[in-house]
Structure 1
Amino acid sequence: MGEQVRNASIEILLYWNVELNMPVVTADELHRTAKYFMDSGKAASHAEAMTILESFSLSIRVSESMRSSPLEQTALFTLVNLASRTFLGGVEVVGAPDCVATSPLYDGRNIRDVVVELGGKHSTVDGEPSICPVVLIGDATPSPNAAPQWRLTWSGWRGGVVMEGQRRLDERRAIGLAPVLASAVCATEAFAFFSKMHALAGRRPAGLSLWNPDADWSYDFGEPELTYLPASLWLIGLGNLGQAYAWAIASLDFDGAQKAKLMLQDIDRIGVSNHSTSLLSFPKDAGARKTRVLAEWLEQRGFETMLEERLFGDWSRRTVSEPGVALCGVDNAEARSALDRAGFGLVVEAGLGAGLDSFQSIGIHTFPASRTSGLIWGRQIGQSNPSYRNAPAYLSLAKDGMDECGLVRLATRTIAVPFVGLVAGCLVVSEVLRRLHSGRAVEVLSVSTLALADAETVWATDAEPYAFGFVHCRRSE
């Protein structure tokens, strides 16, 4: 893919402090996608798992229409951000225009500069033809190679991918979440293709409707035009999921003078391993508090932020002047069991699977509901993640001198990928948007990103009208 992509591989490997003859890695440095190959036995060491990720590369081709399409820009920025964290062989962008972006994510910034900032490398159509899988945005010309070629597509509240030559959706009008969702689905399919997790990956269309998650995503079932956006939200947990929520919220068409007020709650600092899972965690921010980093990023985009740097738990209480809607993305049962006792009028929370067979799974709950949060998660307090301590990769680390404490910490870390978190983020944020537009309310939703067509939804039968404040969506020209 050229010298630029080879340089990208070197930079990522240096960041992770990994060399082929350097097998020891701590739990705080672990690339959380590499852990999939370690736990499954496909890699005999962390270095070998990283070598597998280094063999994954992606080429993104865009067209001139991106100059005037905020939706295409949002799709590009999202996909580069996701892919550069996982496909360590490099992410090249072919044909990115040298102009100012109008996407809410990076409004006023040069598109080419943003691509580089997010981990991508530029290439030209006249350069060496790519031999890796290709993603097409807009009317980009397909590559002459024989690798899979996904085309991002979206319309209304729907987003996904089709294979080149298959029918696209009408991409002219959509909510800001639709291209974000399309990019997350694309990254999921690309990872499934590279890792051979699904036989049809790279050969099938895949997508989701945020208005009707259990319906066929290729059809419009009466989706309304986006008119209202939430006036305030409380984000509990700012890791993989919380940062996905922030990215999804920032993609929406808020009016510049009326953006949401956001309460950001977390106690942790950004670590080295967060770069592999979380969309707003970059190497330069390692050691900084997550609340401060996200606040700076959001305030640059016009949002007003408030910070809560304490643990959320049974002692947490919302005051009348604080946001009445909470989006929760924490992964511990004690905090989740307290969600419906903190005084929120609405809670939307997501949880991700952790093990070999479940890390692509998403579960969504909302409260108030027919079951309390304590009933759902109370019995899980104190339970730990499954350990793959006896997999070959960990035996190799033990042989190379890692002590038992380090091995246990490493083995019990969860497998995590940024694109699953972002699909969940789109579902969580769209739940608020759907209720704002008098759509059906979800009580429970379960889906795997490997089988988006099989989403299972329990619709709430007695949800109250949304009464937590709104601002008007900016009208497109």
Structure 2
Amino acid sequence: MINIGPETLDRTIKQLVDSGEASIEEAYAIFAGYRLVIEIDAEHLEREDGQIALVTLVSLASRVFHGGVYVEGCEAKPLLLPLPLGATIGDAIAACGGRTDEAPTDAPRIRIGSACARRVPFHIRVVFDGWRGGIVPADFADTLSDAARPPAMPLAPVLAASFAVAEAFEHVRAKNPTVGHFPAGMSLWTPHERNWLTATDGSPVLSILPEKLWLIGLGHVGQAYLWCLGLLPYEPSAPLQLVLQDTDAIGPSTPSTSILSSPSMVGHRKTREMATWAERRGFRTAIIERLFDAGFRVASTDPSVALCGLDNIPGRRALDKVGFGLVIEAGLGSRHDDFRSLRVHTLPGRRTADEIWKDAPATDEEHVPDEYKRLKAAGVLDQCGMTTLAGKAVGAAFVGCGAAAIAISELLRFLHGGGLSESIDLDLRAVDHLSAPPSTADMAAFNPGFVFARSSGLP
């Protein structure tokens, strides 16, 4: 029995309902048939960046491919990552929602490893090197998958995994025969450059990390920020210090888009569950459970950098009014036809927060999908429930994770002497058409505070 309501409907399944393709019951049945196989070769299983790609793929895909996410090539190896997912890679796969039993032979496949012959019509590989990450067809010859190369910057395999799950989802949804047949990716060091696959980007070894951060909003994007931060090579003696701000509890629909949420957390405060996760990772946390608005004032001892994952306009308009030296904000599309799009802003910039974020139109009955009107007529929803459900965003965890990797890379690039982007616009269905104009803000005097990265293991 499906519990139908504004706080219970799976946000990714909602795409089929809002587009008019299926009723809610039909949409859940369609998603129950989505299966995915992830394969990893022995060399990459023993690399930290290979394991990052694997656990990120499983975590994201398990929220979309409800028929099962199967992992092939998983041997009893130690987990090399600092995430609190268990002692072995098998523990981590299970914790992230994956399976290691016999995989179906006809399901789409994502490979971590060197080029190989295609086994099914949709068979792609994730590739990453330095600050570059993306996807290629399984039989595509490349130089990014060499197991002898130095480990990639941790967010490059995260980005590649996000692109890969997006591509696999597009395959099962659209049945487009060209999906999965072309490379797609980007450099997190030079996001404006399009030759990410064939040319080195001059990126440095990751040696400096942020000391303190303020995270505003702990839902879809906010939890993806934490996932990405958790993969960075912090020394245990110099842990990341976090302020975590949110007012909401985890609801039944939250796990569909939020990478660190599980059904067991439903009803619990986001701040407290995320603080528990962060502290298990080894970070230090403080929590704030009040709405973020222009009434806040950042003290000299507070983090001077904020990562914003808010989905409300009043909060976003306050971002440049409270005293942060740098704000990096990631926003996502929310409709059935644009939920794969993302935009990252940095503040200060050419425009103020008031100029960037205008009032959003309210949902009126004329724009309510027919399925919600049918549920109202059947007495399942009342008028308020109908319009509230119609106004809830469509979302997918792979979009938020990609946005978080890009946003945090902006800060890492700044710490390593590179420039900020004014904004980054990207649609995961057309990665090669991203826009990333450089920021013109004078940040020469701004010191956000930093610590040195772990000298061994990940660079």
Query: Following TM superposition, by how much is the alpha carbon of 1:393 offset from its aligned partner in structure 2, in angstroms?
Result: 2.2
Q: Is the 8 A contact 2:41 2:113 kept in 1?
A: yes
Q: Which runs of 5+ in 1 are unaligned?
A: 1-16, 19-23
In structure 1, distance between residues paired with 2:17 and 2:244: 34
Instruction: Call closer, same or farther: CA 1:385–1:476 in 2, change over 3 Å.
Output: farther
Counterpart in the other structure of 2:134: 160
Deviation at residue 138 of structure 1 after TM alignment: 2.2
**Counterpart code for 1:339:** L
C-alpha distance after superposition, 1:163-198 (max 9, x if no partner): 111123434321000111111000110111111186
Whether the 8 Å CA contact 2:86–2:92 is kept in 1: the answer is no
Q: Using the TM superposition, give the Cα deviation of residue 108 of structure 1 relative to its aligned residue in structure 2, in angstroms.
A: 6.0
In the TM superposition, residue 473 of structure 1 has moved relative to its aligned partner by 1.2
CA RMSD of aligned residues (A): 1.9
Mapped to 2, the partners of 1:283 and 1:333 lie a distance apart of 28
The answer to whether residue 49 in structure 2 is matched with residue 71 in structure 1 is yes
> What do the CA deviations read for 1:370-413 (whole angstroms, capped 9, x no partner)?
21112222x31x63357785534224323432222221111111
Match of 2:404 among 425, 437, 445: 425
Conserved? CA contact 2:220–2:258, under 8 Å: yes
Aligned residue number for residue 193 of structure 1: 171
Partner of 1:211: 189
Task: Tell me the TM-score normalized by structure 1.
Answer: 0.90
Q: Does structure 1 conserve the Cα–Cα contact (< 8 Å) formed by 2:115 and 2:139?
A: no
Asked whether the 8 Å contact 2:327–2:347 carries over to 1, the reply is: yes
Which amino acid in 2 is paired with 1:137? I
> Gaps (5+ residues) in structure 2?
none
Mapping for residues 28-177 of structure 1, pairs under 5 Å: 28-43=7-22, 45-106=23-84, 109-123=87-101, 127=102, 129-139=104-114, 144=119, 146-171=120-145, 172=149, 173-177=151-155
1:264-307: per-residue Cα shift (whole Å, max 9, x none)?
Answer: 00010001100100001101110111011111111111111111
Q: Distance in 2 between matches of 1:128 and 1:437?
A: 43
Say which SS state the counterpart of residue 58 (structure 2) adopts.
helix
3-state SS in 2 of match to 1:342:
coil
Relative to structure 1, is the Cα distance of residues 329 and 120 closer, same or farther in structure 2, using a 3 angstrom cutoff? same
- 2:275 and 2:374 map into 1 onto residues whose CA distance is 41
Q: Deviations over 1:195-242 (max 9, x none)?
A: 118663222221121111121221222111111010111000001000
| Equivalent-residue separation in structure 2 for 1:107 and 1:113 (angstroms) | 7
Displacement after TM superposition at 1:354 (Å): 1.0
Distance 2:239 2:166 in 1: 30
Paired AA for residue 134 in structure 1: R
Matches within 5 A, 1:251-290: 251-290=231-270
Decide whether aligned partners of structure 1 residues 386 and 212 sit closer, same or farther in structure 2, where only a CA change above 3 A counts.
farther
Q: Percent identity?
A: 39
CA distance in 2, matches of 1:372, 1:181: 29
Matched, 1:434 2:409: no
Determine whether 1:400 maps to 2:378.
yes
1:450 to 408, 429, 434: 429
Q: Residues 161 and 388 from structure 1, CA distance in 2 versus in 1: closer, same or farther, beyond 3 angstroms?
A: farther
Contact 2:217 2:309 in 1 (8 A): yes
Mapped contact 1:352–1:362 kept (Cα < 8 A): yes
Which secondary structure state, in structure 2, belongs to the residue aligned with residue 262 of structure 1? Answer: strand
Letter in 2 for 1:239: G
Q: Quote the offset at 1:113 in angstroms.
A: 1.4
- The change in CA–CA distance for 1:197 and 1:295 in structure 2 (over 3 A counts) is farther
> Aligned equivalents of 1:189 and 1:476: distance in 2?
34
2 CA distance for matches of 1:234 and 1:295?
12
Deviations 1:228-258 (Å, cap 9, x if unpaired)? Answer: 0101110000010000111111111112221
Q: Give the CA deviation at 1:351.
A: 0.8
Q: 1:305 to 1:388 in 2, by over 3 A?
A: farther
- 2:321 corresponds to 1:341: yes
The amino acid that maps onto 1:259 is: P
State TM-score, norm by structure 2: 0.93
The whole-number CA distance in structure 2 between the counterparts of 1:90 and 1:128 is 9
- Counterparts in 2 of 1:401 and 1:142: CA distance versus 1, 3 Å: farther
Q: Structure 1: how far apart are the matches of 2:233 and 2:141?
A: 27
8 Å Cα contact 2:37-2:71 kept in structure 1: yes
What is the one-letter code of the residue matched to 2:278?
Answer: L
- Could you tell me whether the CA contact under 8 Å between 1:312 and 1:335 is conserved in 2? yes
Paired with 2:178 and 2:284, the residues of 1 have a C-alpha distance of 44
Q: Distance in 2 between matches of 1:53 and 1:463?
A: 48
Structure 1 counterpart of 2:352: 372
Q: Which amino acid aligns with 1:100?
A: P
395-404 or 252-261, which deviates more? 395-404
Look up the SS of the partner of 2:254 in the other structure: helix
